[in-house]
Amino acid sequence: MGKGQPSITNTIRTLRFHAGEMTQAALAEKVGVTRQTIVAIEQGRYSPSLEVAFRIAAAFAVPLDQVFQWAPPDGPAA
């Protein structure tokens, strides 16, 4: 990944699809945030707090690392 690329990615859109095509609004309500927050997180424009990240994982009943993935900005250390 080059500079400016997000180092945290997520699978929220896929998880929503597999959860009966859950809407962003429905997920936001479950997690306790606004739909706009879910949109920004899903698009990688905003990284949630650790608590919100855990709440999102809990909403899908999956481990945190199944929702969010982190990669060092310059790739793996040599």
Per-residue pLDDT of the chain (78 residues; tens, 9 = 90+): 445 555 889 999 999 999 999 999 999 999 999 999 999 999 999 999 999 999 999 999 999 999 999 987 776 555
- Domains of the chain, each with CATH number or no CATH: 8-70 (1.10.260.40)
Output the pTM of the full model. 0.84
Query: Using CA atoms, how far apart are residues 24 and 8, in angstroms rounded to an integer?
Result: 19
Q: Where are the alpha helices (DSSP H) in 6-49?
A: 12-18, 24-31, 35-42
Predicted pLDDT of residue 7: 83
